[in-house]
């Protein structure tokens, strides 16, 4: 696996540190790591994230 800091999929450009809201959960998701096995297949990348407080993205939340 190759670790990268940014990846462009067919729909998204995702970077380490990006924050995504989750309409069903009371927290946001912060991207902490991106791994891709084959750089020619960015849609198969593994995106690792942690839950963070919606108003303070430096504060982790328990799921």
pLDDT band at 11; cut points 50, 70, 90 = very high
**47 or 25: which leads in pLDDT:** 47
CA–CA dist 13, 7 (Å, integer): 6
Long-range contact list for 13-18, CB < 8 A, 24+ apart?
A: 14/45, 14/47
Task: Give tens-digit pLDDT for 17-40.
Answer: 999 997 888 899 999 999 999 999
Q: What are the structural domain ranges in the chain?
A: 2-52
């Amino acid at each position: 696996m190759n670790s990268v800091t940014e990846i462009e999929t067919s729909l998204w450009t995702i970077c380490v540190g990006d924050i995504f809201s989750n309409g069903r959960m009371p927290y946001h998701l912060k991207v902490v790591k991106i791994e891709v096995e084959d750089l020619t297949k960015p849609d198969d990348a593994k995106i690792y994230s942690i839950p963070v407080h919606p108003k303070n993205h430096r504060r982790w939340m328990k799921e």
